[in-house]
Structure 1
Amino acid sequence: MIDRLEKEVDMLERHLQVLKMVIENEPIGIVKMSNETGYPHHKVRYSLRVLEEENLIEPSSQGAITTERTSEFVEELDGKLDDINEKLSSMRIDDAAEIES
Structure 2
Amino acid sequence: MIDRLEKEVDMLERHLQVLRMVIENEPIGIVKMSNETGYPHHKVRYSLRVLEEENLIEPSSQGAITTEDTHDFVEELDGKIDHIVEKLDGMKIETAPEAEN
Same fold flag (TM > 0.5): yes
1:25 paired with 2:25, answer: yes
The percentage of aligned residue pairs carrying the same residue is 87
Corresponding residue pairs, total: 98
Structure 1 unaligned blocks of 5 or more:
none
Q: 1:96 deviation in Å?
A: 4.9
**Runs of 4+ deviating beyond 3 Å:** none
TM-score normalized by structure 1?
0.94
Match of 1:65, SS state, is strand
Alignment partners' CA distance in 2, 1:89 and 1:25: 35
| 1:1-101 pair list within 5 angstroms | 1-96=1-96
**Which letter maps to 1:72?**
D
More helix by percentage: 1
- Per-residue CA deviations over 1:17-71 (Å, capped at 9, x if unaligned) read 0000000000000000000000000000000000000000000000000000000
State the Cα RMSD in Å.
1.2
Larger Rg: 2
Name the TM-score, length of structure 2 as normaliser.
Answer: 0.94
Structure 2 unaligned blocks of 5 or more = none
